[in-house]
Structure 1
Amino acid sequence: MSLITYLSRVHFADGVLEDAIEAELDYQRIARPLVIADQALQGRAFERLLAALPEQVRPKVLDVPPSTGREEDLLAAAQLFATGRCDGIIGFGGATAIDLAKILSLTGADPAALTRRLDGAGAPVRMRAAGSPAIVIPTSAASGAGLSRCAGIVRSDGRRVTLIGAPMLPAAALCDPTLMGEEPGEAVAAAGMDVIVHCIETYLCADWNPPADGIALEGLRRAASVLERAVADREDLEARRELLAAALNGALAEEKGLGGIHALAHALEETPTAAAARHGRFHAALAPHVLAFNAPAVGGRYTLIKQAMRLPAAADLPQAVADLGERLALPVRLGMAGVRRTTLDPVSRRAEADPANRTNPRLATAGDYRAMLEAAF
């Protein structure tokens, strides 16, 4: 592909929530927002959001569980959106609230059409039409600081479906590092590992996009330098700021494409037993084997990745990523993460069909993915 496009309106600074929310609501012409917020984050950060809203704005608020957005949550949001006569959405928190906000921005008060489409989905669903504006306010680095082109939802039967495409981008994002710090270390670790994998995979992606390459390497440098600090110390504002910036880099670079780690992760997350897992939880187990598979096709790119991660020139990149995952207390074997061996065949087939496989530097078959899963088990 030769077309290069970039993103949404982004405000990024310490304290930008108070500085930008009124202006952004006015710019998007939102007077009656539905605020979708993670239940786990109903603390000082959420109080800051409510206090920052202009006096004339009368929000409706929906609290959602902080795991993975469910179809029933989307239906509840749609009902509240309709009864409240809302004209926009604010997603506040982690991936759950933000993904639901982005999906609701497409479906509005009537998600039935989306539900019908999902009923026949056996692979990630491409979205093509946008509706009400969504403003996302991330309190973590998950899902590319809310600027990923993907969003996940768990169907009523337990399956997770991934929605992809430019319409999944929010109208605006307010990235305020001072809102971070309420998430547990496990969530920060999974989100941070996803940032690192985003940057690695977009840099290795087979498509041609020189700006994305530079953005990805810079994001990788930032994330690798602070991730362990961000997990260990919630009060480390510099680490949080750098990790959020790296997530933004990864989201910007995602325009180029992803790769086999995400193809497998998406496929695993679509199994009912793993649907509630945080995105990024499986990366430490998967990445070493996908990186080893891709090695013959990437030329000297692993050298630049190791430089960005400040690894010795002689370091083995797949092993270094596995070691990082272990230090972050992420599962380095799929069996440790609760994956069932009986799911490996259907997961392999879904990974082959995933759009991320088409931009992996080395095209993988279902058989290739089955071998990688077996090695990761």
Structure 2
Amino acid sequence: MPASTFFIPSVNMIGAGCLEEAAKSMKEYGLHKALIVTDKVLNEIGVVAGVQKLLEAQHIESCVYDGTRPNPNTRNVADGLALLREHGCDCVISLGGGSPHDCAKGIALVAANGGEIKDYEGVDRSARPQLPMVAINTTAGTASDMTRFCIITDEVRHIKMAIVDKHVTPVLSVNDPQLMTGMPKSLTAATGMDALTHAVEAYVSTAANPITDACALKAITMISASLRAAVADGNNLAVRENMAYAQFLAGMAFNNASLGYVHAMAHQLGGFYDLPHGVCNAVLLPHVQAFNARVAAERLRDVAAAMGVNVVGLSNYEGSQACIQAISKLARDVGIPAGLRDLKVKEEDFDTLATNALKDACGLTNPLKASHEDIVGIFKAAM
């Protein structure tokens, strides 16, 4: 087994009511003026004001950038950076789901390293750590609150840039399920399936190790047991907390074992059509694993078992097929669209999408190497 390096924020708070404790920790870090990166909805419904009130109690000033798009782009990073510099902020707080977290990472990284965010596309391209960043999660899925991954859309090339850099890891992640109860059903489903995708791809990754395996399998078990209930009743705090832990476990898995072709392909759909990331992952996940089953059947059988499938007596191949069926059923049960056709994806774009997917850093650890034709075939199967 090759040597492994394990990345994670130095402090992580999970549980109902932990947001207030997080504000006190920020004061201990010696932070004075924060740029809060969020979206307009969270600002309009008062979540941002609540965070600002907690910061004020710790004598931390703040200003707000709420222009983050659902798929944050280079313009969002540039606009937020301009506001940070204008106000002389010494730290960044991201508030929301993966989009504000990724946008905030881009801002904090460029603030410390100079240039533009596109200069850092790829793996570990920066020279120094970003400004101190605190990530406050309001969804249970992306794990961007605790990873070294930052996904930013390049509007000129219509692709999502994968920035994988140890320097974009937040100093503190906060998962308070009380902030997650307001999530609509569709967002709960999409982010939950995103977390499942993280765990499955990490488990079959060529960079998997005993630590990531343990995190991935536990995440898969918790998501399979809790996601349907979280979608059915968003105010069920116990289920929300289970999903908060599960998404964090999945984050620990993929932050260190990386991902695969599901993400490499989903990034292209998101960049090209501006589609929701979690939904793209959910639609692609069973089809990519059907491709992977040629070499990862035993691992997929383990995933099926973690999802609650009785695999006793099943061969590795049979177990892998049961896994794919279980993933598809969970997606259906929580209301994920049946295929890419429902997302208005066009078959004539597959050639371009496949070319770009094969350039995405997330595909490097997929268990089975794909040709251009293979990727096109998976896109077709997912229609």
Do they fold alike, i.e. is TM over 0.5? yes
CA contact (8 A) 1:282 1:331 kept: no
Residues 227-266 of structure 1 mapped to structure 2, 5 A cutoff: 227-254=227-254, 255-266=256-267
Distance 2:76 2:265 in 1: 26
What code does the residue aligned with 1:292 have?
Answer: A
Q: CA deviation at 1:51?
A: 2.0
Aligned mates of 1:160, 1:213 — CA distance in 2: 27
**2:113·2:126 contact (CA, 8 Å) conserved in 1?**
no
> TM-score under structure 1 normalisation?
0.91
Amino acid at match of 1:244: A
Aligned equivalents of 1:116, 1:67: Cα separation in 2: 18
Matched, 1:148 2:154: no
**Which residue pairs with 1:80 in the alignment?**
83
Gaps of 5+ in 1: none
Aligned partners of 1:217 and 1:308 also within 8 Å: yes
Q: Which residue of 1 aligns with 2:317?
A: none
Moved over 6 A (4+): none
CA positional deviation for 1:162 = 2.6
Give ranges in structure 2 of 5+ residues lacking alignment. 315-320
Shift of 1:138: 0.5
How far did 1:268 drift? 2.1
2:181 is the alignment partner of 1:175: no
Q: Distance in 1 between matches of 2:132 and 2:281?
A: 32
Tell me the C-alpha RMSD between the 2 structures.
2.1
Once the two structures are TM-superposed, the CA of residue 33 in structure 1 deviates from its matched residue by 0.6
Counterpart in 2 of 1:7? 8
Structure 1 residue 360: deviation in Å? 1.0
Contact 2:202 2:208 in 1 (8 A): no
Letter in 1 for 2:362: A
Distance 1:338 1:149, change over 3 A: farther
Q: Is the 8 A contact 1:357 1:364 kept in 2?
A: no
1:309 aligns to 2:307 (yes or no): yes
Matched residue, 2:221: 221
| Shift in alpha-carbon separation, 1:25–1:108, aligned structure 2, 3 A | farther
Partner of 1:360: 366
Q: 1:323 — aligned with what?
A: 329
Moved more, 217-226 or 320-329: 320-329
Distance 1:263 1:66 in 2: 20
Matches within 5 A, 1:1-377: 1-8=2-9, 9-27=11-29, 29-42=30-43, 43-55=45-57, 56-65=59-68, 67-108=70-111, 113-115=115-117, 117=119, 126-129=124-127, 130-144=129-143, 146-157=145-156, 158-254=158-254, 255-271=256-272, 274=273, 276-313=274-311, 316-377=322-383
Separation in structure 2 between the aligned mates of residue 308 and residue 116 of structure 1, nearest angstrom = 39
Q: Following the alignment from structure 1 to structure 2, what is the Cα–Cα distance between the partners of residues 312 and 239? A: 24
Identity of aligned residues (%): 26
One-letter code aligned to 1:99: D
Q: Deviation per CA, 1:261-302, whole angstroms, max 9, x where unpaired?
A: 11211222232xx2x322111123211221111112124222
Closer, same or farther: CA 359–156 of 1 in aligned 2, 3 Å: closer
Q: More deviation in 290-299 or 219-228?
A: 290-299
Distance 1:82 1:196, change over 3 A: same
Deviates more, 1:361-370 or 1:141-150: 141-150
Distance 1:352 1:235 in 2: 41
Aligned residues: 368
Give me the whole-angstrom Cα distance separating, in 2, the residues matched to 1:280 and 1:116.
Answer: 23
